[in-house]
Structure 1
Amino acid sequence: MNRLLRVLLVSAVGVVSVGFAIAVVMIAYAAFVLWPQLPSADSLREIRLQEPLRVVSAEGDLLAEYGEQRRQPKDFDEFPTDLVLAFIAAEDDRFFQHPGVDYQGMARAIAYVLREREFGPGGSTITMQVARNFFLSREQTILRKANEMLLALQIERTLTKEEILELYLNKIYMGNRAYGVAAAAEVYYGKSLDELDLAQMAMIAGLPKAPSAFNPIRNPQRALQRRAYVLARMYQEGFISHERYEQANAAPVTARLHAPRINVDGRYVAEMARQQMVDLYGEEEAYTGGFKVYTTVHSEYQQAANRSLRRALEDYDRRHGYRGPEGRVSEEQLNDPQILEQQLRAHPPFGGLIAGIVLEVEEDAAWVLVRDDDVLRVPFSSMEWAREYIDANRRGAAPESAKDVVSRGDIIRVARRGDDSGLFRAVPEAEGALVSLSPVDGRIFALSGGYDFRRSSYNRAVQANRQTGSAFKPFIYSAALEHGYTAASIVNDAPVVFQDDALEGYWRPGNYTGRFYGPTRLREALVFSRNLVSIRVLRDIGVGRAIEHVTRFGFDRGGLPADLSLALGSNSATPLQMARGFAVFANGGFLVEPNVIERVEDPSGDVVFAPNFPQACKLCDDGPRLLGHGMEEFDVLDLPPLAPRKIAEDNAWIIGDILADVMTRGTGRGALRLVNRGDMAGKTGTTNDLRDAWFVGYTPDMVTAAWAGFDDQRTLGARETGAAVALPMWSRYMATALERVEERSIARPEGLVTVRINPESGKVTGSDNPDAVFETFREDSVPVREEGDGRDGRGRGAEREIF
């Protein structure tokens, strides 16, 4: 017996000794091998989490977000208390007691390994998860686990518990590209953290264990079970009352996939900013560096641009009839809710118009199924426009009831009005663009490159080179003033035939009206867009000299045809180029550089990039620059660079004065119905076969170009001119954009004089002439007086007459 006891004792001592020796070896290995190789926990203080690129308006409203990882890092005090407690209850209930490694949890984990012969749950604290997520792989090995524990101990010695939780809650993967709890709140609920209820917080807290298995969108039942576990643990730990536990546990699953919460629809602008950021920083840094790009666009202006463009295209579309449904659902498919949902998803919203499937049709209304199983009543009164589209110039008979327009199973578009009604609409095929910028420094206030970015990402505002038509004439007339013409010069508007090798034979241009108006003053020719006057002027000054002058407005010489058709706008330009060109008239002769980025901030809010906008400054050509209403003088080194002067100030003013007449008595007068102010100037443009419709106009504070046409350049149809299609787009936008902008005129430069002239001859006349009108000239270009006007003296300069 004694011998047996001795054997057992010796064996026990041996086991203990071996165990002690192993422990000593392990501790020594950890201390002298593993510990020195560990990364420093101090680096966590400087860690930079991957954040997406965010593009916002000047006011900070989100336009778009780019990046694989959706993350919104928060400070610890921004996390709701219930959310923090939910994670502690679910992941590490002794977080505030242990030193980074929970030995009770480790004992349970070791017991599981010995029992099951495999790694299992338990043992990992929140601190250990931080160590693994930031420094280690996810492979399940003893060495990785040892490193994890050592790092956790080091982290706890370096960071506070709150700092560890902050890192954890911002880093963890939550499924569906969401990293961190703030991104999870947006992805699953479309909310910020402070908007979540307890049930939603518990659902999020259940995700880190298995983001795919417990995903409330893919696996709502398993997600409910996991949420119940989290809530039960919170109740058991005394974090919530029994009443709150019961209420949250009974709540339904409300999660669904949410895109980033876009505050303003400005994807065309955002894409321009994204491309610039990639050029500046490269793709990887741009998409992961957490940059916040403040654009120059104003939220209100951008929304007005979208509305105005869409309204103009929809109005055009309705004038030409209904092209039919976007698709059809068979009678058999109408009885399958899953197929109906698939069909609706295949037709995403465009321009605020949602897709719907016609379920029933009555004489005075149709009943239409839309997303989320809602059924809307669409009255026939909203369908009366829907005559059958035949071609650009023909429509079918007017419908007499809803049954003449839609049928059961049609996939149509509606504009939702309230909870149970909608208006019958269609997504237009024609496209358009609108761009608005500052003539002072080129900052882009608003830009819309098409009806909807989701339908077409092609940015027509900056990529579509379209024929400019008569909208280009002001640049030709500016060249004329540069080469001896005045606003009173007389040019004959009469038939003419040219033989021009560049135009391949004979060319017989005419006016849009088909009429000829005889001798015409230059002012009247531009106001009423007389084509033959423009051609004669261009021929007289010379195409080469005109092109040299026009390039000063920022147009590429290679895109300007070297023939007389240039007088009618046969060249092509983008809406942005046209706006930039007209800005030269608006600012007194300077060429500004359009820009869409105001500044770029890093995740800390520090400005890392801010372009220096060259400014148009009339006071800066000679001597110090003066800024501000108080005319305070600043150090030149602190000022932005000066935009280059391209034309004389008096040239810009006279052209602007003529373009102001376009708004009051020419092709732009329709704008006054929506924008009743006296400081506007602009020009319509319509191209051959009515393929392009333009209006470009400005005030001293804003230049806006509006364009409409088909991408395949087919005709818009009879009477669809710049005044009919583009001018309403421009006017509706400017009515909003100028609402709080004080009306002011452009100051007339020195060296100009205004005299009475005879409108028939263009010569100076007396005050006793009842037909006399006022005209403005350079001092050295005042025309001669009419003979026999009863006055002595003559005007200076020689009048130029061309017949």
Structure 2
Amino acid sequence: MQRSSAGSRIGRFLFQSIIFCIGLGLCGLLLGTLAVALTWPNLPDLKAMTDYRPRVPLRVYTADKILLAEYGEERRNVLRFNEIPDVMKHALLAAEDDNFYNHGGVDWSGVGRAVIANVVSGAKAQGASTITMQVARNFYLSSEKSFIRKFYELMLTYKIEQNLSKDQILELYLNQIYLGHRSYGFAAASRTYYGKPLSEVSIAEAALLAGIPKAPSRFNPRANLKRAVARQHYVLDRMEKLGYITPEQHQEALAQKIVLRDNTQETPETTFARHGQYVAELARQLMYNVYKDNVYGRGLSVYTTIRSQDQEVAYHAVRDGIMSYTRRKPYPGPAAQVDLPAGIENNTERFDLALEEIRNKYRDSDDLVTAVVLSASASKVVAARTPEQIYELSGKSLGYVKRALTNSGPTSRRIQRGSVIYLQKVDNTWTIINMPTVEGAFISLNPQNGAIESMIGGFDFNRGDFNRVTQAWRQPGSTFKPFVYAAGLERGVTPGTNISDQPFHLSAAQTRSKPWSPKNYGNSYSYSQTMRQGLYKSKNMVSIRILQTVGPEFASEFISRFGFDPARQPPKSAYLTMALGAGSVTPLQMASAYSVFANGGYRVNPYIIDSVVDISTGRVIMKAQPAMAGDEANRVLDPRTAYVMNDLLRGVAKSGTAARTQATLKRGDIGGKTGTTNQSYDAWFAGFTPKLVGISWLGFDQPKSLGDKETGGGAAMPIWLSYMQTALKKVPVTPPGPIPEGLAKVGDNFYFSEFPLGKALANIGVSGAGRDPNAAKPAGSQSGDAIGKALESFNPMGGPPIRF
């Protein structure tokens, strides 16, 4: 009986326990159902995933789709599923979730294996998060570890699985996951670590990338290559076991040495990006003006009008022009003098640190590299860049700095131990040269539509992002004269008009300020010059008298047609100084203005952004609609004036101050004008063909003389020529077009219909000797008052006679 009683008690206990467990289970199920019912409606919608718009940086490209720069905190290259190579997908599945295509979001068998492994090891040895669960965390959840957050993650995982296909989920993961060094997604990581697109990765490289998500800060190859490779081997083993790769591929991948991209090493891509920094920065500024701070994360690709080959040529043309000028001037001395303790070369670690500190302070500039002098004599200089890079310089390597190797002259100019110098390789020989202090700029554009094809805003963008093409307001000197001459043509002056070249003087009473006595270059004067010869020889006296004939009101209105701001030109009280280019312009303005001559009289606005693409949709959201030459709505200059000015400026390029252009390029469609300002503060060259305009400039940012013998033809024209020798190679010569209606050519002269032969101005400022060379009768002797009366007879502006 006692045994029966005991068995009965045990039976009742078991029965009650079963009932309790069932009840507990039912309560749990009820609570779970209630929790799901309450949680599910509050789960976020999946718009962030179904309408995936990651923070993709702003990217700037050339017209031929070469990357110039990207701006944004996150590096990201979004790829569609079919654009991602299978080897990358397989490597990731092997590393993170090999059962991905079979489970419903949570891999319960994987959870079981992880629990057993963790119990056996006594620590968290395995995780059980699936790719879907990781996507849920990355998009919506924090990294907080709690039961509630885990439950929320579980619910969100199931919702994702219900609304997205497996391929969509995997695509999101491959693009969204963080992989170290500001890289989001495997496409960006491939460029960060290997310097190549994801489509080109090998099995070994894909396996290494697939190992990073486990712990991006520890398993990325830059942080710890050894640890990253160990993780890679695990991934490769899994890939073989799952049948993604063969045993032979497995062995080949294990044997492949991982070569990481050297961030300091130049590649064609990084080199060109550096050469296009001024372009990229201008494009960034223009985009920021439209989208403000939002521009850096919305995934816009900006395609500029810049052509990569032309930009490269322009970069080297400006650099070479500046370096050529620098070599013409005395060596100013080392960049600095540092204390270099005796014998420091024998302590490699200490020596390396010292040199690195110096290089960080006195940075390289492209092919100008920093070095420190270890010893110096009149015949030999030994300098170090690193403990391994030692330069022994002698012979022609020292030609430029010979005076700095003697004991004569200022101590600051001497090269001695501890001197910080710059080296440049010229004709395969290292030479000592100083970092230039002079600056330069170049811009080329298509005069038919204003598209900028190359733009260099200075010697080195990294010395400061001031863009001298768009921001430097400088005196244009004689490059401004053609606009004065063009105004003269529309007031009755002809290329054959005889104009005084005698010295010109205005008293203080006439200027209402200080006396003004301008000079010709070299103080060279003649009795008179024709308008044509005055432009060819860039005679200041001729330009002044033409402008005086035109008058201030007409001149101010006329130059504004070309895009010049009259407010930045000399005031009316001193307007005659405009004839010498005494106002202020930018190289960009000059390029736009000369385009009017090049294209036959049309105003086209320079532009640098051709289109903007939203990469998330592939849709073009902005497209340039430039003003075009040939559209009469854009005409700002009489076609007759444009035709005659082209004829005159081609003459300048053939036998005037710019004759070197045709002698070098050997083509007859070039027009151009040199420009040198007072005291040679600025050197310019403006040149063009009907298809291409180029403007080069050289000067100091804080204006000072370039030197008595420095001119636009000697300092700026070589930059222009260096560029055009390449840029015009495939551009056919454009012959002159037909003479426009209303323009007559008599001999070498041209006449407008309203100023025909015999009525056009024959002389300006010439007493007694001047005559229209094509007139049937002598024009006769004319005094200044007589010329003034003749002008008044056809002057639509009215006003008193002009006196000379």
Shared fold, TM over 0.5:
yes
CA 12–676 in structure 1, closer or farther in 2 if over 3 Å, else same: farther
Q: Spell out, residue by residue over 1:427-455, the C-alpha distance to the aligned partner (whole angstroms, 9 max, x if none).
A: 32211111111222211111111112222
What secondary structure sits across from 1:385 in the alignment? helix
What secondary structure sits across from 2:60 in the alignment? strand
1:700 and 1:746 in contact (8 A); partners too: no
Q: Distance in 1 between matches of 2:478 and 2:659?
A: 16
1:717 matches 2:700: no
Q: Distance in 1 between matches of 2:448 and 2:234?
A: 62
1:283 corresponds in structure 2 to 293
2:570 corresponds in structure 1 to 561
2:549 corresponds in structure 1 to 540
2:86 corresponds in structure 1 to 81
Which of 227-236 and 687-696 deviates more? 227-236
1:353 corresponds in structure 2 to 368
2:797 corresponds in structure 1 to none
1:468 matches 2:476: yes
1:316 matches 2:321: no
CA shift for structure 1 position 465:
0.2
1:202 matches 2:207: yes
1:304 matches 2:313: yes
What secondary structure sits across from 1:55 in the alignment? strand
Partner residue of 2:61 out of 42, 51, 56: 56
Which of 134-143 and 575-584 deviates more? 134-143
Q: Distance in 1 between matches of 2:46 and 2:770?
A: 97
CA 410–575 in structure 1, closer or farther in 2 if over 3 Å, else same: same
Q: Distance in 1 between matches of 2:71 and 2:597?
A: 38
Query: What amino acid does structure 2 have at the position aligned with 1:504?
Result: S
Query: What amino acid does structure 2 have at the position aligned with 1:476?
Result: V
CA 518–104 in structure 1, closer or farther in 2 if over 3 Å, else same: same
Partner residue of 2:32 out of 6, 23, 27: 27
CA 66–660 in structure 1, closer or farther in 2 if over 3 Å, else same: same
Identity %: 37
Query: What amino acid does structure 1 have at the position aligned with 2:111?
Result: M
Q: Spell out, residue by residue over 1:332-388, the C-alpha distance to the aligned partner (whole angstroms, 9 max, x if none).
A: 654333443454455554244344456677998767655795666767434423455
2:793 corresponds in structure 1 to none
1:775 matches 2:775: no
Partner residue of 1:612 out of 625, 639, 648: 625
Q: Distance in 2 between matches of 1:616 and 1:553?
A: 14
2:438 and 2:700 in contact (8 A); partners too: yes
1:660 and 1:680 in contact (8 A); partners too: yes
1:412 matches 2:425: no
2:687 and 2:695 in contact (8 A); partners too: yes
Q: Distance in 1 between matches of 2:780 and 2:466?
A: 51
2:596 corresponds in structure 1 to 584
CA shift for structure 1 position 78:
2.9
Q: Distance in 2 between matches of 1:244 and 1:795?
A: 97
Q: Distance in 2 between matches of 1:168 and 1:243?
A: 29
1:220 matches 2:258: no
2:742 corresponds in structure 1 to 751
Query: What amino acid does structure 1 have at the position aligned with 2:647?
Result: D
Q: Distance in 2 between matches of 1:514 and 1:22?
A: 108
Pairwise mapping of residues 372-391 of structure 1 onto structure 2 (< 5 A)? 380-387=395-402
2:175 corresponds in structure 1 to 170
CA shift for structure 1 position 97:
2.7
CA shift for structure 1 position 22:
4.7
CA RMSD, aligned part only?
3.6
Give the total of aligned pairs. 751
What secondary structure sits across from 1:523 in the alignment? helix
1:270 matches 2:270: no
CA shift for structure 1 position 42:
6.9
CA 190–280 in structure 1, closer or farther in 2 if over 3 Å, else same: same
1:704 corresponds in structure 2 to 694
1:437 and 1:703 in contact (8 A); partners too: yes
1:310 and 1:351 in contact (8 A); partners too: no
CA 115–609 in structure 1, closer or farther in 2 if over 3 Å, else same: same
2:143 corresponds in structure 1 to 138
1:671 and 1:728 in contact (8 A); partners too: no
Which of 216-225 and 135-144 deviates more? 216-225
2:672 corresponds in structure 1 to 682
2:765 corresponds in structure 1 to none
Q: Distance in 2 between matches of 1:364 and 1:11?
A: 106
CA shift for structure 1 position 389:
8.2
Q: TM-score, length-normalised on structure 1?
A: 0.85
CA shift for structure 1 position 422:
4.9
CA shift for structure 1 position 743:
0.3
1:185 and 1:192 in contact (8 A); partners too: yes
1:292 matches 2:282: no
1:41 and 1:151 in contact (8 A); partners too: no
CA shift for structure 1 position 44:
2.5
What secondary structure sits across from 2:462 in the alignment? coil
Partner residue of 1:125 out of 105, 110, 130: 130
CA 422–240 in structure 1, closer or farther in 2 if over 3 Å, else same: farther
CA shift for structure 1 position 521:
1.1
What secondary structure sits across from 1:712 in the alignment? coil
Query: What amino acid does structure 1 have at the position aligned with 2:483?
Result: F
Q: Distance in 2 between matches of 1:2 and 1:339?
A: 89
CA 137–405 in structure 1, closer or farther in 2 if over 3 Å, else same: same
1:727 matches 2:717: yes
1:354 and 1:415 in contact (8 A); partners too: no
1:498 matches 2:506: yes
CA shift for structure 1 position 593:
0.9
CA 371–590 in structure 1, closer or farther in 2 if over 3 Å, else same: farther
1:522 matches 2:537: no
Q: Spell out, residue by residue over 1:778-798, the C-alpha distance to the aligned partner (whole angstroms, 9 max, x if none).
A: 244344499999999559999
CA 277–796 in structure 1, closer or farther in 2 if over 3 Å, else same: farther
Q: Distance in 2 between matches of 1:790 and 1:379?
A: 63
2:421 and 2:433 in contact (8 A); partners too: no
Q: TM-score, length-normalised on structure 2?
A: 0.85
1:597 matches 2:606: no
Q: Which has the higher helix share?
A: 2
Q: Distance in 1 between matches of 2:780 and 2:612?
A: 55
Pairwise mapping of residues 329-368 of structure 1 onto structure 2 (< 5 A)? 330-331=340-341, 334=345, 335-336=348-349, 337-357=352-372
CA 558–345 in structure 1, closer or farther in 2 if over 3 Å, else same: same
Which of 44-53 and 461-470 deviates more? 44-53
2:770 and 2:781 in contact (8 A); partners too: no
CA shift for structure 1 position 88:
1.8
Query: What amino acid does structure 2 have at the position aligned with 1:684?
Result: T
Unaligned 5+ segments in structure 2 are: 1-5, 763-768, 789-802
Query: What amino acid does structure 2 have at the position aligned with 1:777?
Result: Y
2:99 and 2:107 in contact (8 A); partners too: yes
1:782 and 1:797 in contact (8 A); partners too: no
CA 89–367 in structure 1, closer or farther in 2 if over 3 Å, else same: farther
1:468 and 1:570 in contact (8 A); partners too: yes
CA shift for structure 1 position 406:
7.4
2:799 corresponds in structure 1 to none
Q: Spell out, residue by residue over 1:664-704, the C-alpha distance to the aligned partner (whole angstroms, 9 max, x if none).
A: 11111122343221111111111122111001111111111
Q: Distance in 2 between matches of 1:232 and 1:475?
A: 76
CA shift for structure 1 position 456:
2.0
Q: Spell out, residue by residue over 1:260-317, the C-alpha distance to the aligned partner (whole angstroms, 9 max, x if none).
A: 9444532212222112212222321x21121111111111211111111111111111
Q: Spell out, residue by residue over 1:178-209, the C-alpha distance to the aligned partner (whole angstroms, 9 max, x if none).
A: 11111111112211123333443233222222
Q: Distance in 2 between matches of 1:320 and 1:733?
A: 24
